[in-house]
């Protein structure tokens, strides 16, 4: 029998959390740290030195030799530069391990080598990392050794945010302040803080590493650029929640242990819909820590997959024809006295505070649908959204039958006198219990769905940081709360004012509610009739970052400046153009050096077979027909390759970054699709032994 794993004992053992600080810091120092974490402010230099020494001693006891300011630049992944604890040797040549408060609080990476969208010139290199005291330091263990990772924000020398964390923290303060105004309007004098909480589910694929290394497209692009469908996909729906394979199970076991050590509340694991696809879901945490932990989850998945002879694919659409991957961003807002502002209670029609919060959120999503869509935009997600497997590219809100009925009553009559009840589900089996039934079913096709006491934003891509969607959600809802509070705080008759405001918001923004099938063509037409935007690509969405409405929103709450928004729009165009360029060059390389040579060799074999059969006195009808079909597709492929080479070179030569991105989308991507089509048909014709790299069947079913 294997050794019993004590999860309680290992959980958080590699985290310098509050419990560890309470044990290792003097009482007055711990109180100062906790106060800054809860209320903001700065640590005194003396306190910072004490915290740094305690953190260093703890890390060294766990085997750490280096520390790093762990930050999240605009690449979408994390960055780190390792410095050892080695100090100057003393006069006897003895080295002492050192770490000061100044080193804890501030670092200085090169700011010019990260995406800045024009905020920093190449010669302007200075940037700063600043310790985020609200997110605990942790230890990373790998072949490099044990590294103390200190979560930090990353800003330029001139003060602009060059990362995901800084604006996220700003947005959390904004929604916290405005939500507290709403809470106080309803007489809650106990709450002093409101926090956005997030639980991001993470989908991913696992493939065999040796097979992965034989595919240039997976190595360079993270997804397959060629590939005919396997005979079996997900038609039988037998992989979803199916028995986990031994090899995958071993990976999941080690993944859980690593994450638990790092304080990540890995809760749920299961097979997803597509073959070789899986999911991990954590428990809710404050938005800031949830974003950090999701980055840790993705990093740990990739690291441990290697150890198990696997490769973790986080691209949103690694395989055509089967479901891609996303991460459902479950979002709610909670007071520090334990009240979830999105909890409707047993009778939501009588819960006036909840109805106001709901009305504000509907208003926010309707007004800023383009910005919310943009927050989930990335290159891989263009292949996933709207593909009858994920939410459509049209933003709408699912409320369910119960809340939609309440909303209808409020719009039509000004009051909701009743609400639908859940009742019981009768199993019809004497030995099975009858189950309490929710008043509302779920809708998997909705991009923004209310699911009991939270909203689930289902558009977010699997490889992307969840910072951007949560910055946007926090900001747009903060604006709606602020505008509502401005009106209600001045009202002579609060009850009448809040009643009228709820009805007004629901009436004006009812068009955003849709409970039906988001995959249907009828909904696309209906959404257009309602005036809802249908933004189909990443670069079409990018412009939402710099509209007058968006700039006003973010500057009002000091989340982004206009310059920071303009830089992020430019980075969107740059990222798209560079990513498609890499994919196009990879396709050209694979077609030129692998597929076409392999097909030529196969056609030579066929030609020899035709001659041999003829020489034997038999008409080679089948062989000649196959040779003709192969040569026809080979010619088609060669012509498509030449077109792609020409169009890729033309797009690459363009200087205007926005025009270049659209040229890649409108011209290069169709040229890539035109090259793929005959190549995939050839895969179905050529002898498997002669095909130059692993097929979909090899990758998805041989794990």
The CATH T-level fold of domain 171-226+237-424+433-560 is: Creatine Kinase; Chain A, domain 2 (3.30.590)
In degrees, rounded to 5, the angle at the alpha carbon of residue 29 between the alpha carbons of residues 27 and 14 is 90
Are the C-beta atoms of residues 126 and 108 closer than 8 Å to each other?
A: yes
Are the C-beta atoms of residues 142 and 305 closer than 8 Å to each other?
A: no
CA distance 221 to 224: 8
Query: Crossing angle, helix 596-615 and helix 621-652, to 10 degrees?
Result: 160
What token pair was written down for 488? 């209600």
Q: What is the CATH number of domain 576-701?
A: 1.20.120.1560
CA distance 454 to 219: 37
What is the Cα 669 distance to its own chain's centre? 23
The pLDDT value recorded for residue 460 is 95
CA distance 464 to 76: 6
Q: 3-state DSSP call for residue 333?
A: strand
Give the long-range contacts of residues 562-566, CB within 8 A, separation 24 or more.
563/119, 563/160, 564/119, 564/160, 564/161, 564/167, 566/117, 566/118
Spell out the alpha helix ranges (H) of 534-655. Answer: 538-542, 548-556, 562-590, 596-615, 621-652
First to last CA, the chain: 26
What token pair was written down for 384? 């996933």
The pLDDT value recorded for residue 253 is 96
Give the long-range contacts of residues 189-195, CB within 8 A, separation 24 or more.
190/337, 191/335, 191/336, 191/337, 191/339, 192/336, 193/38, 193/335, 193/336, 194/333, 194/334, 194/335, 194/336, 194/341, 195/286, 195/287, 195/333, 195/334, 195/336
The pLDDT value recorded for residue 595 is 97
Each domain of the chain, given as residue ranges in start order, spans: 7-162, 171-226+237-424+433-560, 576-701
Q: Selecting from 3.40.50.720, 3.10.20.70, 3.40.228.10, 1.10.3720.10, what CATH number does the domain 7-162 have?
A: 3.10.20.70
Residues 6+ positions from 137 with CB-CB distance below 8 Å = 15, 16, 55, 59, 148, 149, 150, 151
CA distance 395 to 446: 8
What token pair was written down for 16? 């310098």
CA distance 4 to 16: 25
Q: 3-state DSSP call for residue 15?
A: strand
For residue 135, give Cα distances in angstroms to 52, 131, 164, 305, 505: 15, 9, 14, 26, 36
Q: 3-state DSSP call for residue 196?
A: strand
Query: Crossing angle, helix 669-685 and helix 562-590, to 10 degrees?
Result: 30
The pLDDT value recorded for residue 110 is 67
CA distance 361 to 398: 12
Name the E strands within 86-167: 106-107, 127-131, 137-142, 145-156
The pLDDT value recorded for residue 97 is 78
What token pair was written down for 328? 């459902």
Q: Write phi, then psi, for 489 (nearest 5 degrees).
A: -65, -20
Among 607, 628, 627, 610, residue whose Cα is nearest residue 619? 610
CA distance 79 to 426: 53
In degrees, rounded to 5, the angle at the alpha carbon of residue 221 between the alpha carbons of residues 217 and 227 is 40
- Burial level of 123, CB count in 10 A (0-12/13-18/19+)? exposed
Among 316, 561, 354, 556, residue whose Cα is nearest residue 452? 354
Among 531, 483, 481, residue whose Cα is nearest residue 511? 531
Among 531, 506, 541, residue whose Cα is nearest residue 386? 541
What token pair was written down for 692? 């130059």
Among 493, 506, 470, 121, residue whose Cα is nearest residue 348? 506
The pLDDT value recorded for residue 441 is 61
Among 143, 183, 115, residue whose Cα is nearest residue 303? 143
The pLDDT value recorded for residue 191 is 93
Query: Which residues are bridge partners to 15 per DSSP?
Result: 138
The pLDDT value recorded for residue 133 is 94
For the chain, which ranges sit under pLDDT 70?
1-2, 110-112, 116-125, 386-390, 422-423, 425, 432, 435-443
Are the C-beta atoms of residues 312 and 206 closer than 8 Å to each other?
A: yes
Domains 7-162 and 171-226+237-424+433-560 share a fold: no
The pLDDT value recorded for residue 236 is 78
The pLDDT value recorded for residue 298 is 97
Q: Which helix (H) or strand (E) holds 456?
A: strand 455-457
């Amino acid at each position: 029998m294997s050794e019993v794993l004590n999860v309680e004992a290992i959980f958080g053992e590699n985290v310098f959390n509050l419990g560890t600080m309470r044990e290792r810091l003097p009482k007055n120092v711990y109180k100062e740290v906790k106060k800054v974490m809860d209320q903001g402010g700065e640590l005194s230099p003396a306190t910072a030195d004490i915290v740094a020494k305690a953190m260093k001693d703890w890390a060294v006891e766990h085997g750490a030799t280096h520390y790093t300011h762990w930050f999240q630049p605009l690449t979408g992944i994390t960055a780190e530069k390792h410095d050892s604890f080695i100090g100057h040797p003393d006069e006897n040549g003895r080295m002492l391990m050192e770490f000061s408060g100044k080193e804890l609080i501030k670092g200085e990476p090169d700011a010019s080598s990260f995406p800045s969208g024009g905020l920093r010139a190449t010669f302007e290199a200075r940037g700063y990392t600043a310790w985020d005291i609200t997110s605990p330091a942790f230890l990373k263990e790998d072949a490099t050794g044990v590294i103390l990772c200190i979560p930090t924000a990353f800003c330029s020398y001139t003060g602009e945010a060059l990362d995901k964390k800084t604006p996220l923290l700003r947005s959390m303060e904004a929604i916290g302040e405005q939500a507290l105004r709403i809470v106080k309007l309803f007489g809650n004098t106990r709450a002093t803080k409101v926090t956005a909480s997030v639980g991001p589910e993470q989908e991913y694929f696992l493939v065999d590493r040796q097979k992965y290394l034989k595919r240039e497209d997976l190595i360079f692009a993270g997804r397959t650029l060629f590939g005919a469908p396997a005979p079996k996909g997900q038609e039988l729906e037998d992989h979803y929640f199916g028995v986990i394979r031994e090899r995958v199970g071993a990976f999941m076991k080690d993944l859980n242990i690593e994450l638990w050590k790092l304080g990540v509340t890995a809760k749920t694991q299961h097979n997803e819909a597509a073959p070789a696809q899986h999911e991990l879901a954590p428990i809710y945490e404050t938005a800031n820590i949830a974003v950090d932990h999701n980055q840790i989850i993705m990093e740990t998945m990739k690291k441990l997959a290697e150890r198990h002879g696997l490769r973790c694919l986080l691209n949103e659409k690694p395989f055509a024809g089967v479901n891609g991957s996303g991460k459902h961003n479950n979002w709610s807002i909670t007071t520090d006295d334990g009240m979830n502002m999105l909890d409707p209670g047993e009778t939501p029609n009588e819960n006036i505070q909840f109805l106001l919060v709901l009305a504000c959120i509907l208003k926010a999503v309707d007004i800023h649908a383009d910005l919310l869509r943009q927050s989930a935009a990335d290159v891989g997600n263009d292949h996933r959204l709207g593909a009858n497997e994920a939410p459509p590219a049209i933003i709408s809100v699912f409320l369910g039958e119960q809340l939609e009925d309440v909303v209808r009553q409020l719009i039509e009559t000004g009051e909701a006198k009743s609400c639908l009840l859940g009742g019981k589900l009768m199993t019809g089996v004497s030995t099975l219990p009858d189950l309490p039934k929710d008043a509302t079913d779920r809708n998997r096709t909705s991009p923004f769905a209310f699911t009991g006491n939270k909203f689930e934003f289902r558009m977010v891509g699997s490889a992307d940081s969840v910072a951007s969607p949560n910055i946007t959600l926090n900001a747009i809802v903060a604006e709606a709360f602020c505008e509502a509070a401005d009106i209600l705080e001045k009202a002579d008759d609060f009850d009448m004012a809040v009643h009228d405001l709820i009805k007004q918001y629901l009436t004006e923004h009812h068009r955003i509610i849709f409970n039906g099938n988001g995959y249907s063509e009828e909904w696309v037409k209906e959404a257009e009739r309602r005036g809802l935007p249908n933004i189909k690509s990443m670069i079409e969405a990018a412009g939402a970052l710099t509209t007058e409405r968006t700039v006003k929103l973010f500057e009002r709450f000091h989340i982004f400046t206009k310059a920071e928004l303009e830089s992020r729009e430019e980075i969107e165009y740059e990222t798209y153009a560079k990513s498609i360029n890499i994919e196009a060059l990879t396709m050209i390389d694979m077609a030129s050096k692998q597929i076409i040579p392999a097909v030529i060799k196969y056609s030579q074999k066929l030609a020899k077979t035709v001659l041999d059969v003829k020489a034997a006195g038999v008409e080679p009808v089948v062989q000649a027909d196959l040779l003709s079909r192969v040569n026809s597709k080979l010619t088609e492929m060669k012509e498509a390759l030449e077109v792609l080479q020409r169009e890729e070179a033309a797009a690459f030569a363009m200087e205007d970054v926005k025009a270049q991105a659209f040229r890649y989308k409108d011209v290069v991507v169709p040229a890539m699709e035109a090259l793929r089509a005959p190549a995939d048909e050839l895969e179905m014709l050529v002898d498997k032994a002669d095909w130059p790299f692993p097929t979909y069947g090899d990758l998805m079913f041989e794990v």
